[in-house]
Amino acid sequence: MRLRLHPPRSVGNVLFYVGVAVALGLLLREGFRLGWPLFGQLVVNGLTLGSVYALIALGYTMVYGILKLLNFAHGDVYMVGAFIGFGVLNVFGAPPNSSLPVWLLVSLMFLAAMIGCGGLGVAIERFAYRPLREAPRIAPLISALGVSFFLQNSVLLLLGSQFRQYPFGLINPGGVQLGTVFISATRIFVIAGAAVLMVVLTIFVKRSRLGKAMRATSFDREAAMMMGIDADRVIAATFFIGSALAGAAGVMFGLVFTQVFHFMGFVAGLKGFTAAVIGGIGSIPGAMVGGLLIGLGEAFATGYVSSTYQDLIVFCILIFVILVRPSGLFGTPAIQKV
């Protein structure tokens, strides 16, 4: 016998569409009231921030999908990625004093951050989570919090509390003027870069052998192992990919918002986690949509209401989605065998 643990989907669906219609109506009203140039600028701002959140959310959702673990250290892995990018920048120098062309410098920053964070993710899994895999669920959760504090304070101890600055307009100080909306080259790069990474990840998970193994392990680890899948290897690969995406998000954040510091992972991690929950934790497309929704929600809340209420509005969106769609936008309903 199977038991459904969520409210009737039809009622949730109706409420969900009503909510979406109300939100769109409010946005249109503000668009007419305050002008479309502001609307366009807010969309650009929201998509930039949302792209970063989406990349962070992917890591949360992949790990949860495969281990049912909320990896609270993920935000700090993202912070480490931003610092690795900054380190590369320091080694080769920032333009115009750099010994490398900009495209190569930026590629190296991404490569170093993704490999470094991927390795860090694997190490975290190996030493902080794997020994606790058979322990009650609360144990790895506490371990994750411990790793988060460890990373935060290690960076504080090693690199100090100062904010480190990426150069403003590193990729290109210019941009594109669309009517009255200005989109900087860096923002275009970040939105496009995040989209490419997300598409590549989706194809990888759907088509590749390892991706299929990841999905099988996520669905039923024991059955996957019986079919000859090395679950430890798959879990390590999941941590590597999720953490590499967080590293890329860290560099993207540095490129657009220029400042990195030891505590930056906390808020970003929280937002990334929220995005993963809104999208349906465990769902890759859900994490992407959730991230973009949170980014746009923040931008519209700040632009049309007040930045004071930005987080309040974002978390109201979370509560609304959880109420009407308990498994998130793309999540599958919880089904329990009894």
Partner 1 sequence: MNRRTGGVAALLAVIAAIAAVAVTTATATPNHAARALVGCKGGATIGLLAPITGPAASLGEPQQRWARFFVSRWNVTHKKFKITMREGDTQLPNVAEATKAAQTLASNSKILGIAGPAGSQEVVATTPILKGVGLAYVTGSATRTTLTDGSRSGYFFRVVPPDAVQGPTVARYIVNILKKKNVLIIDDQETYSTGLSADAAGELRSLGATVSRDSVSQSASDFSSLISRINNNVDVVYIPWQLPPKAQLFAQQMREQGKRQILFSSDGTFDPTTYKPAQTAYNSFFPVARTNKVVTAYKRSHGGQPDFFGTPTYVATQVVVEAVAKACKNGSASRAEVRSNIRKTNIKKSLLGLRVRFTANGDLNGGRFGIFRVTNGNYTPVG
How many Cβ atoms are within 10 Å of 236's Cβ, its own excluded?
Answer: 18
Is 185 among the residues that bind partner 1 (CB under 8 A)? no
How many Cβ atoms are within 10 Å of 174's Cβ, its own excluded?
Answer: 11
Is 97 among the residues that bind partner 1 (CB under 8 A)? no
- Kindly tell me which of 17 and 163 has the beta carbon lying closer to partner 1: 163
Where is 335: in which H helix or E strand? strand 335-337
- Binding residue for partner 1 (CB under 8 A) from 232, 302, 313, 326? 302
Angle between helix 102-124 and 231-257 (nearest 10): 140
CA distance 252 to 309: 26
- Measured from the CB of residue 164, what is the shortest distance to partner 1 in angstroms? 9
What character string, x for contact with partner 1 (CB under 8 A) and - otherwise, covers 45-74? xx-xx-------------------------
- Measured from the CB of residue 225, what is the shortest distance to partner 1 in angstroms? 42
Pairing of strands 335-337, 259-260: unpaired
CB 40 within 8 A of CB 30: no
- Kindly tell me which of 7 and 167 has the beta carbon lying closer to partner 1: 167
- Segment contacting partner 1 by CB under 8 A, of 114-122, 275-283, 298-306, 314-322: 298-306
Q: Which residues contact 108 (CB under 8 A, 6 or more apart)?
A: 88, 92, 100
CA distance 40 to 45: 9
CA distance 33 to 23: 15
Is 315 among the residues that bind partner 1 (CB under 8 A)? no
CA 232 to chain centre: 24
Is 272 among the residues that bind partner 1 (CB under 8 A)? no
CB 194 within 8 A of CB 54: yes
Is 156 among the residues that bind partner 1 (CB under 8 A)? yes
- Binding residue for partner 1 (CB under 8 A) from 163, 312, 333, 335? 163
- Kindly tell me which of 53 and 240 has the beta carbon lying closer to partner 1: 53
SS (H, E, C) 47-65: HHHHHHHHHHHHHHHHHHH
Using CA atoms, how far residue 307 sits from 268, 269, 301, 314, in Å, is 16, 19, 7, 11
Near partner 1 in 8-47, by CB under 8 A: 34, 38, 41-42, 45-46
Is 154 among the residues that bind partner 1 (CB under 8 A)? no
In 3-state terms the chain splits into helix, strand, coil percentages (rounded to 5) of 75, 5, 20
- Kindly tell me which of 74 and 325 has the beta carbon lying closer to partner 1: 74
- Segment contacting partner 1 by CB under 8 A, of 139-147, 240-248, 249-257, 284-292: 249-257
SS3 115: helix
Is 76 among the residues that bind partner 1 (CB under 8 A)? no
- Measured from the CB of residue 257, what is the shortest distance to partner 1 in angstroms? 5
Is 184 among the residues that bind partner 1 (CB under 8 A)? yes
Is 298 among the residues that bind partner 1 (CB under 8 A)? yes
- Binding residue for partner 1 (CB under 8 A) from 25, 93, 131, 160? 160
Is 287 among the residues that bind partner 1 (CB under 8 A)? no
- Measured from the CB of residue 38, what is the shortest distance to partner 1 in angstroms? 6
User: What is the widest separation between alpha-carbon atoms in the chain?
Assistant: 68
For partner 1, the binding residues (CB under 8 A) are 34, 38, 41-42, 45-46, 48-49, 153, 156, 160-163, 165, 168, 175, 182, 184, 253, 256-259, 261-264, 266-267, 298-300, 302-304, 306-308, 310-311
